[in-house]
Structure 1
Amino acid sequence: MADLVTDVLRRHAEDAFADELAALAAQDDRPRPERWRLSPWAVATYLLGGELPDGTVITPKYIGPRRVVEVAVTTLATDRALLLLGVPGTAKTWVSEHLAAAISGDSTLLVQGTAGTPEEAVRYGWNYARLLTAGPSREALVPSPLMRAMADGRIARVEELTRIPADVQDSLITILSEKTLPVPELGTEVQAVRGFNLIATANDRDRGVNELSSALRRRFNTVVLPLPGSLEEEVEIVTRRVEQLGRSLRLPELPRLPGGAEEIRRVVTVFRELRAGLTTDGRTKVKTPSGTLSTAEAISVVTNGMALAAHFGDGVLRAGDIAAGVIGAVVRDPAADQQVWREYVEGVVRERDGWKDFYRAARENAR
């Protein structure tokens, strides 16, 4: 079983960072809300990183404003649910998972929101074989992740809340306001015990898909996760996540991969300039493409480049390994984005000192 856990492609946060969570719990002498594994202070330290009195280093899981994390954590200690809002790629899912792991020791009580998410995924369903055999009963009932979280006093998660149909969204209102989930078929209900709360995520870009009703929105405290504030901050985020993914995929480590730091900075620079419509020196305006060019996409581009360098190159990460990924991220709408990319390459990349290799790779991959 241990081998299976270490061989999984992506471990849950509570497993991947079990040592850090245990070290925090051992030295955490601050008040903890009921059924929380850590105090709010320790949860924030787990997300933001730091060094414990015994010298244990807690790696940062989120790089951004400390106040954003503190507000998110304290919200979960109240009777209001937490809505993490932001553009795609601002680490909403990542923060949600790590909050649940630190507070409940379990980040798996998850409902993935889609246009086809049924009400049963939020409330409960039935084992139809048992239902037909013996009728409605506790044994035939299949609890949703939210029902299980309510019963156990843990944190539940709902991803992409605004993608869920409006009538299914509104089934959360009773859960969040009354802390109760009625089961009329059995003439009973499940009441939430202390420790239960809900973290939902939603994208700014999804506004208007299935906009939250005012009644439901009032049940949430909304925390907006911003884009990285500086080039250095975004480079650090990408570097850390690429290193984690590289270890999982058993790719060469960045410190041992020549050119890794330089190419990460180059990818992040391209993405930030095209997002902002302005070069980093503030001198040249550029057109913005239709895509989001998020930090998550930058991580994907660099990770793919590392795989190319490792499996089809000489192990050195070069401009040619990342150029195709950058173009794929930028050119989502061939009719509009192709011209945006061409103008950026010819007007900015071509004139930039030290970028001749990337300019050549961009031209070759665009053919």
Structure 2
Amino acid sequence: MSDVLRQHAEKQFAHELAALKNFDDRPKPPSWQLSPSAVITYLMGGQLPDGTEISAKYVGSRRLMEIAVSTLATDRALLLYGVPGTAKSWVSEHLAAAISGDSTLLIQGTAGTSEEAIRYGWNYARLLSEGPSRAALVDSPMMRAMQDGKLCRIEELTRIPSDVQDTLITVLSEKTLPVPELNTEIQAVKGFNVIATANNRDKGVNELSSALKRRFNTVILPVPDSSEEEIQIVQKRVTDLGRALEIPSEPPALEEIRRIVTIFRELRNGVTEDGKTKLKSPSGTLSTAEAISVVSQGLSLAAHFGDAVLRPHDVAAGLVGAIVKDPVQDRVVWHEYLETVVKERSGWKDVYRACKEVS
């Protein structure tokens, strides 16, 4: 598995999950691998009695994670909601890994997602030769999760057409998946539940029906509260990505990460950090995930075409690409920010020159 580009969470952090299980003496809901308390430790990080360090998977409000975990221990499904890049999918994967030991039962929501992706499909060669039978049925991730008492993940729920979304109502309310072709049904085993994600930029694409909304407990994942928190997230994820991708460069300087995060936060919030200058915001989200991407791309440039040390000219192209999504409107916003903020900021002349060069 050493050649796998990105391992599933339950494989990548198997040693942490095993250590937590060894010391976990709290009550566990049916079919859960860990107790809710141990799941929180896995997500938020901590140290076990034998000195084993559990890395933080989520940097943010502990209470939000407690609400998410406690929801999954009830008969309500969980909807993680927020702007793009707020770690919804990341949290969803780690919740499934810690609770079920399996994060692979995944349904990717798109405009083309059909009912079969949620309910079940058919092996049409067997269906034509043998007729409807259990052997001809192709289990969906939802069906497997129900049978095994595990969590099923649904990514981008609001991207799925409304009539397909409503397929979930019976599953979530009755914990049953009817198979009328075989005059039978699949009943969920204890431990089954659903984690869905949706982002508020998709509001109005395929709104959830009132009936479906009632089946979910919604937890809104916010952007990081402070710049220090966001810097910490970017630094950790970039370090992990660099190790996984084997990028031969020096760890990114904290100062470079701080400047990128500052640029993103100021443009996102429409005001400079000192509150003295109001700014126009570009059309993009400028999420933490995009900041991680800019730093990672800069490290790759520095490693393969530089001296392996991250410098402003390595991240300038990535910055422009992340900020200027609309070549007309966003370019004006970016140039105004460069001239009124970056150019005048003490110690930022190198950033200004590098960004002007690629802009």
Shared fold per TM-score greater than 0.5:
yes
Whether 2:103 is the aligned partner of 1:107: answer yes
Corresponding residue number in structure 2 for 1:263: 256
Deviations 1:98-130 (A, max 9, x none): 000000000000000000001100000001111
Corresponding residue number in structure 2 for 1:142: 138
Deviations 1:260-319 (A, max 9, x none): 222111111100000000111111111100000000000001000000000011111100
Amino acid of the structure 2 residue aligned with 1:115:
A
Corresponding residue number in structure 2 for 1:69: 65
Cα distance in 1, alignment partners of residues 258 and 12 from structure 2: 27
Whether 2:348 is the aligned partner of 1:352: answer no
Cα distance in 2, alignment partners of residues 325 and 26 from structure 1: 44
Whether 2:12 is the aligned partner of 1:16: answer yes
So what's the TM-score if we normalise by structure 2?
A: 0.99
**Deviation of 1:236 (Å):** 0.4
Amino acid of the structure 1 residue aligned with 2:13:
F
**Deviation of 1:173 (Å):** 0.2
Cα distance in 2, alignment partners of residues 44 and 97 from structure 1: 14
Corresponding residue number in structure 2 for 1:329: 322
Cα distance in 2, alignment partners of residues 357 and 99 from structure 1: 42
**Deviation of 1:87 (Å):** 0.4
Amino acid of the structure 1 residue aligned with 2:232:
E
SS in 1 for 2:265: helix
Corresponding residue number in structure 2 for 1:188: 184
Whether 2:226 is the aligned partner of 1:203: answer no
1:116 to 98, 112, 133: 112
Cα distance in 2, alignment partners of residues 289 and 228 from structure 1: 19
Corresponding residue number in structure 2 for 1:38: 34
SS in 2 for 1:82: strand
Cα distance in 2, alignment partners of residues 125 and 265 from structure 1: 49
Provide structure 2 residue ranges, at least 5 long, that are not aligned to the other structure.
none
Identical counterparts, % of pairs: 71
**Deviation of 1:252 (Å):** 3.5
So what's the TM-score if we normalise by structure 1?
A: 0.97
1:155 to 151, 155, 172: 151
Cα distance in 2, alignment partners of residues 6 and 179 from structure 1: 39
CA RMSD in angstroms, aligned pairs only: 0.7
Deviations 1:225-256 (A, max 9, x none): 01100000000001111111111110136xx3
Whether 2:165 is the aligned partner of 1:172: answer no
SS in 2 for 1:84: strand
Whether 2:46 is the aligned partner of 1:56: answer no
After TM superposition, the runs of 4+ consecutive aligned structure 1 residues lying more than 2 A away are none
Amino acid of the structure 2 residue aligned with 1:244:
D
Cα distance in 2, alignment partners of residues 252 and 339 from structure 1: 36
Corresponding residue number in structure 2 for 1:291: 284
1:316 to 304, 309, 317: 309
Cα distance in 2, alignment partners of residues 196 and 98 from structure 1: 16
SS in 2 for 1:351: coil
Amino acid of the structure 1 residue aligned with 2:294:
V
Aligned positions, number: 359
Provide structure 1 residue ranges, at least 5 long, that are not aligned to the other structure.
none
1:221 to 217, 220, 223: 217
Deviations 1:145-182 (A, max 9, x none): 00000000000000000000000000000000000000
Amino acid of the structure 1 residue aligned with 2:78:
L
SS in 2 for 1:352: coil
Cα distance in 1, alignment partners of residues 16 and 190 from structure 2: 25
